[in-house]
Amino acid sequence: MGLRRLSNTNALKAKRERKMNCFPCCGGGGGDEAGEEVDNNCKSFKKKSKREFKEGNVLANLIATISFRSNSDRQRNMAEEILKLGNGEATIQVFTYNELAAATMNFKPESLLGEGGFGRVYKGRIESTNQDVAVKQLDRNGLQGNREFLVEVLMLSLLHHPNLVNLIGYCADGQHRMLVYEYMALGSLEGHLLDLPPNKKPLDWITRMKIAEGAAKGLEHLHDTANPPIIYRDLKASNILLDENFNPKLSDFGLAKLGPTGDRSHVSTRVMGTYGYCAPEYAMTGQLTTMSDIYSFGVVFLEIITGRRAIDTSRPTAEQNLVIWAQPLFKDRRKFTLMADPLLEGNYPVKGLYQALAVAAMCLQEEASVRPLISDVVSALAYLAAPSEDADDSNPPSPDRNSSADVEDGDGDKDEVGEVKSSSFKNKEEEKSD
């Protein structure tokens, strides 16, 4: 009897181990067929050499490597959902730790570009391709774990757009986790906008509007082109990188989530992101939609206009939260010019300022359903990014979704920024009736 119980225990243990270690690395499925696919995948993974992995499906290799170590079904399922964005094939390179150590001169301090809660970023050079790169070395004890690492590799491998940073490759050598990006010569928007040293030239108005337009286009690709849509969830000035011509690209996709599909109106998830940028409904309920990104964009755009941080504890109490400080000013056009970055020294079109503030106000509306669609925001910003002499001649398209984001003056009358309408955008109800 004892031997039979021991035998049954060992059988259950073996079955449990097989269940934990075997999974389909790409695609879904269920029932017996899925079980056979699981076993076949496991056998093929064990037979393949590291070299064969590199020549085959790079993403499947990564999912296998990360998920086998973590034994995480949720991680595997998340990866399979992301793979639906593409065909599972990606033109990214797999680097060894030694290759990236050589590229960064052994991660010497002189190569350090910056650091944060995730780890450090170094400038490097891949000699085989004569290419400058940025190597993000993830801190093993930092904020970005295996899940975030996997999400970022998969997302950036399958999504390509001029306003999304280009992922060149990754390293998952042993316990090392590193991401290799194209090198962005001018660093982050934060470094050119917020807390500038006296000797650094501030961004001019048109450059600011072009950066906002490019960032919005990157977000538009995630919301409207990706299928299912992607919610970025971490839009902020430090995550917008600039090339040598100030063209912006969104970076850091570790917190990105696949958006709701079918009849679902939102994705329920743990509240993550950066304080000051999170939409109020997401912060309170954990319910995430693309409108959450629109709110975050509104905060960043307000930073671009004002030169103020979303949260700045060095300022007086009433001015520490940028959105709270701006809300009463939105209602008094006599104070609009007080919201412009003092470093601009008045070198901006006043009407353009009013219209930019209208866009920001619409994105920052408390009720998510009346915020504008990102495609409408892009259209409005394309106008604002035009030469200033044109911006004063006529009204731009307004990212008007369900309202015109009323901006009132001190007497309660709607100001002209709230009257900016779009003849090129139909009301959403009109579109349905058509």
**Residue 426 marked as a ligand binder:** no
434 CB-contact burial (10 Å; exposed 0-12 / middle 13-18 / buried 19+): exposed
Catalytic site residue from 32, 234, 243, 392: 234
Q: Is 224 a catalytic residue?
A: no
Q: What residues contact residue 299 under an 8 Å CB cut-off, 6+ apart?
A: 236, 276, 277, 310, 322, 323, 364
- Residues contributing to the annotated binding site for ATP: 136
Catalytic residues: 234
